[in-house]
Amino acid sequence: MNALEITGLHKVYKNGVQALKGIDLRVKQGDFFALLGPNGAGKSTTIGIVSSLVNKTAGQVRVFGHDIDTDLETAKSCIGLVPQELNFSQFEPGLQIVVNHAGFYGVPRPLALRRAEKYLKQLGLWEKRNQPSRTLSGGMKRRLMVARALLHEPKLLILDEPTAGVDIELRRSLWDFLREINANGTTIILTTHYLEEAESLCRHIAIIDHGLIIENTGMKSLLAKLHVETFILDIDRPLAAAPPLPAFHVQRLDELTLSADITKDQNLNDLFAALSAQGIHVKSMRNKANRLEELFLGLLAKNGG
Amino acid sequence: MESRYWIAFQTIVTKEVTRFMRIWVQTLLPPAISMSLYFVIFGSLIGPRIGIMHGFPYIQYIAPGLIMMSVITNAYANVVSSFFGSKFQKSIEEMLVAPIPNWVIVSGFIAGGVVRGLFVGLVVTAVALFFTDLHLYSFWVTAVVVLLTSILFSLGGLINGIFAKKFDDISIIPTFVLTPLTYLGGVFYSIELLPPFWQKVSLANPVLYMVNAFRYGILGVSDISVINALIVLALCSVALTAACIMLMNRGVGIRT
């Protein structure tokens, strides 16, 4: 069964901006799905329409088979939304925010309080539950929105850049938490600008640009399309120019750093051997960019972005 | 009401009441202070010089109007500020993404406004009792009028909140429409004191009906027919309820 099924989705805003130009998207139940795209590509508009914060111009959206035109309330009850921007009262304490959210979904208060304790503890917010939310740190506010979205135990969790501005330690703990709830059966759709995040978490991916889906595939098959990876090499002696290596494309970045493009039919051992033959030894090495980032930029460039 | 709708409704009302109780210095104290000043100045100082109006001392005559004025302004202010505040902070999205119909959201905000209107009405009544005697002439008329009035002005506040795009927009209507209508709505005088032309003009002011009907409920005197007042109140409430639900369904001011 599809957790989300979008067909021919169009959105034209009142100012004439055509944000979506006929999107088709399927997300299977239980999937961990990444929706990527540059700023203004249409990600948040898509999420806004699915969660009924934005009116669509044309097209169909079904959430677990429930059409948002004919069965909106059931569709809504399946979704938990973590929006990009903070959207809770800054004056209310965290506990009140999450319990009220449950109330809006018809969850009785005693059950809401039990769930609030469970999720606020899991997300490290229980000690701060009675503090006004404006006094929480940025990372805590984001986690509060995650806890809030889970209070009605949705089947589909949509996260719009949930880790923006969150430090790396908290980001990774949030990833572990999301992996856990996905393993427990919740379908997750994630938009992010951290492509490492998408690569690490998601099994399927769609890339949206200029209001169109330009790629929609499995993460593994997308990464398999990567033909060239660029590595940064820290070398042991200063060079005035890039060493002449006919089989490889090597550039000098500074006197102690080189960059090397490795195609799919080449390997790093051959590169190291060629460098060693010229008396150059590699002290350390790293990817120039995340693998998904290279693909992402390549796809956008192909699409005219 | 379906049980989940009932839970959602209770949640919105509780949230609203908690909000205005949390900021009681801004919401409950000012009406008590300003009404005390009205009673001191218009009632105790100027009132004895005005004498008797419709058979009552002036301070007693204006007391129901002043109570009603507080109910009107507070019911309106509660909903307009809370709804616009929710839009401004985007916390309105918490309700918009939830599986609750718009009529439940409208009912919740209106109930919040009614609770504040009635609460402030009680506070101001308590203040009034320090200055004059008040007896209920008709409990039912008083109760129905105060309830319908607080509903009507809560609805007005909601419509203002729906259309408001900036903070200025939530003060324009109270300042330039609500205050003149209230002051010219017979709070401080009987329209019998006006020339015939202005008496007729006054009849177009809905606040006149509320103040007079409420005064009838407490003192038993009114410039206009109480039945007419109740009909006007009921019709206006139904019309504004329909308008609010239609605006919410269309997503005016809340959905792009």
Q: Name chain A contacts of B84, Cβ cutoff 8 Å.
A: none
B15 touches chain A (CB under 8 A): yes
pLDDT digits (tens, 9 = 90+) for A165-181: 777 788 888 888 999 99
- Taking residues A198-214, report their average pLDDT: 87
Q: What is the pLDDT of residue A181?
A: 93
In CATH terms, the fold of domain A228-302 is Alpha-Beta Plaits (3.30.70)
Q: Which of A241, A242, A231 is nearest to A287 (CA)?
A: A231
Contact B4 A106 (CB under 8 A): yes
Q: Residue A162 and residue B94: Cα distance in Å, rounded? A: 17
A100 touches chain B (CB under 8 A): yes
- Return residues 9-28 of A near B (CB < 8 Å): 13-14
B30 touches chain A (CB under 8 A): no
What chain B residue is nearest to A98 in terms of C-alpha separation?
Answer: B94
Q: Which of B98, B8, B6, B96 is nearest to A76 (CA)?
A: B98
Q: What token pair was written down for A117?
A: 């304790």
Confidence of residue A112 (pLDDT cuts 50, 70, 90): very high
Q: What is the pLDDT of residue A291?
A: 64
Instruction: Name the H helices within chain A.
Output: 43-50, 72-78, 94-104, 109-122, 138-150, 168-183, 195-201, 219-223, 268-277, 291-302
To the nearest whole angstrom, how far is the Cα of B104 from the nearest Cα of chain A? Answer: 10
Contact A53 B255 (CB under 8 A): yes
Q: What token pair was written down for B62?
A: 């204006």
Contact B90 A87 (CB under 8 A): yes
Q: Name chain B contacts of A77, Cβ cutoff 8 Å.
A: 99
Q: What is the pLDDT of residue A226?
A: 64
Q: What is the pLDDT of residue A46?
A: 93
Contact B94 A91 (CB under 8 A): no
- Which of the two residues, A197 and B100, has the higher pLDDT score? B100
B18 touches chain A (CB under 8 A): yes
Residue A216 has pLDDT above 90, yes or no: no
To the nearest whole angstrom, how far is the Cα of A154 from the nearest Cα of chain B? Answer: 11
B165 touches chain A (CB under 8 A): no
Contact A76 B98 (CB under 8 A): yes
Contact A83 B96 (CB under 8 A): no
Ordered by start, the domain boundaries in chain A are 2-223, 228-302
> Residue type for A120, please?
L
Q: What token pair was written down for A225?
A: 């399309």
What is the Cβ-side half-sphere exposure of residue B177, based on CA atoms within 13 angstroms? 13
Q: Residue B230 and residue B209: Cα distance in Å, rounded? A: 8
- Taking residues A208-237, report their average pLDDT: 82
Contact A53 B97 (CB under 8 A): yes
Contact A55 B256 (CB under 8 A): yes
Predicted confidence pLDDT, tens digits, chain B (256 residues): 678 999 999 999 999 999 999 999 998 999 999 989 988 888 788 888 888 888 888 889 999 999 999 999 999 999 999 999 999 989 999 999 999 999 999 999 999 999 999 999 999 999 999 988 888 899 999 999 999 999 999 999 999 999 999 888 888 888 888 888 888 888 888 888 888 898 889 888 889 999 999 999 999 988 888 998 899 899 999 999 999 999 999 888 887 7
Contact A106 B99 (CB under 8 A): yes
DSSP strand pairing (A249-254 vs A257-263): antiparallel
- Return residues 184-243 of B near A (CB < 8 Å): none
Choose among B8, B22, B255: nearest Cβ to A103: B8
Q: What is the pLDDT of residue A292?
A: 67
Contact B95 A77 (CB under 8 A): no
pLDDT digits (tens, 9 = 90+) for A259-303: 888 887 788 888 888 889 888 899 998 877 666 666 676 667 666
Which 3 state secondary structure label does DSSP give A284?
Answer: strand
Alpha-carbon torsion angle A131, A135, A138, A141, nearest 10: 30
What contacts A137, CB < 8 A, 6 or more positions away?
none
Q: What token pair was written down for A58?
A: 């044309």
Q: Evaluate if pTM is beyond 0.80.
A: yes
Q: Residue A36 and residue A43: Cα distance in Å, rounded? A: 7
> Which residue's entry shows tokens 């984001």?
A142
CA distances (Å), B70 to each of A103, A105, B28, B146, B195, in order? Answer: 31, 34, 10, 11, 28
What contacts A238, CB < 8 A, 6 or more positions away?
A255, A256
Please, what is the average pLDDT of chain A?
Answer: 88
To the nearest whole angstrom, how far is the Cα of B82 from the nearest Cα of chain A? Answer: 11
pLDDT digits (tens, 9 = 90+) for A235-266: 988 888 888 888 888 888 888 898 888 887 78
Q: Residue B93 and residue A83: Cα distance in Å, rounded? A: 10
What chain B residue is nearest to A57 in terms of C-alpha separation?
Answer: B256
Confidence of residue A146 (pLDDT cuts 50, 70, 90): very high
Choose among B22, B85, B95: nearest Cβ to A104: B95
Q: What is the pLDDT of residue B119?
A: 95
Instruction: Please state which of the four CATH numbers 3.40.605.10, 3.40.50.10380, 2.30.30.100, 3.40.50.300 is assigned to the domain occupying A2-223.
Output: 3.40.50.300
Residue A195 has pLDDT above 80, yes or no: no
Residue A304 has pLDDT above 70, yes or no: no
Contact B91 A87 (CB under 8 A): yes
Check: complex ipTM more than 0.95: no
A72 touches chain B (CB under 8 A): yes
A53 touches chain B (CB under 8 A): yes
Chain A with chain B: Cβ pairs closer than 8 A: 83
Q: Name chain A contacts of B3, Cβ cutoff 8 Å.
A: 106
Terminal alpha carbon distance of chain B: 30
Q: Residue A11 and residue A26: Cα distance in Å, rounded? A: 18
To the nearest whole angstrom, how far is the Cα of A106 from the nearest Cα of chain B? Answer: 4
To the nearest whole angstrom, how far is the Cα of A112 from the nearest Cα of chain B? Answer: 11
B97 touches chain A (CB under 8 A): yes
- Return residues 56-95 of B near A (CB < 8 Å): 85-86, 89-91, 93-95
Confidence of residue A305 (pLDDT cuts 50, 70, 90): low
